[in-house]
Structure 1
Amino acid sequence: MPDPSSPSPTEAVGPYVLVADDDATSRCFLGNALQQLGARVALSPDGGTALDRARAEAFDLLLLDCRMPDIGAVTVLKQLRGDTHALSTCTPAVASSAELDAGAQRRLLESGFHAVLLKPCTLSDLQGILALVAVNGQQLPLLDDKLALNASGTPAVVQALRKLFRQELFHLYEELDALSSDTAVLETRLHKLRSSCGFCGATSLAEHIVSLQHHLKLAHRGAMLPLADFRQSLLQTIDALDAQ
Structure 2
Amino acid sequence: MTPPAAPLPPRVLVIDDSLTMRLFYRSLLDAAGFTVEEAANGGEGYDRVLAEPFDLLIVDVNMPKMDGYTLLRTVRQDPAVRDVPAVMISTEAGPHDRDKAYAAGANFYLVKPVAPEELVEVARLMTGRKS
Question: Runs of at least 4 residues of structure 1 off by over 4 A?
Answer: none
Structure-1 separation of matches of 2:103 and 2:44: 24
Q: Name the CA distance, whole Å, in 2 between partners of 1:32 and 1:46.
A: 19
Q: TM-score, normalised by structure 1?
A: 0.47
TM-score, normalised to structure 2, is 0.85
SS in 1 for 2:75: helix
What do residues 3-27 of structure 1 show as CA deviations (whole Å, max 9, x unaligned)? xxxxxxxxx9321000000011111
Aligned length: 122
- Residue 33 (structure 1) shift: 0.8
Alignment-derived partner of residue 56 in structure 1? 51
Q: Secondary structure at the match of 1:67?
A: coil
Compute the displacement of 1:103 (Å): 1.8
Matched residue type, 2:74: Q
- After superposition, the CA RMSD in angstroms is 1.6
Q: Does 1:101 align with 2:94?
A: yes
Could you tell me which runs of 5 or more consecutive residues in structure 1 were left unpaired when the two chains were aligned. Answer: 1-11, 136-244
Q: Is the 8 A contact 2:76 2:105 kept in 1?
A: no
SS in 2 for 1:126: helix
Tell me if structure 2 keeps the 8 A contact 1:13–1:39. Answer: no
Higher helix share: 1
What residue is the counterpart of 1:198 in the other structure?
none
Higher relative contact order (CA 8 A, sep 6+): 2
Deviations 1:15-72 (A, max 9, x none): 1000000011111101111111111001001111100011111110000110001111
- In the aligned structure 1, how far is the partner of 2:42 from the partner of 2:99? 21
| SS of the residue 2:100 aligns to | helix
1:23 aligned residue = 18
Deviation larger for 126-135 or 17-26 = 126-135
Query: Whole-Å Cα distance in 2 between the matches of residues 82 and 107 of structure 1?
Result: 16
Task: Work out the CA distance in 2 between the residues paired with 1:81 and 1:123.
Answer: 27
Identity %: 33
The amino acid of 1:132's aligned partner reads M
Quickly say closer, same or farther: Cα 1:89–1:57, change in 2 above 3 A: farther
- Where is the strand percentage greater, Structure 1 or Structure 2? 2
Give structure 2 stretches of 5+ with no counterpart.
1-6
Cα distance between partner residues in 1 of 2:19 and 2:58 = 15
Please point out which of 36, 45, 60 is paired with 1:65.
60
Structure with the greater alpha carbon radius of gyration: 1
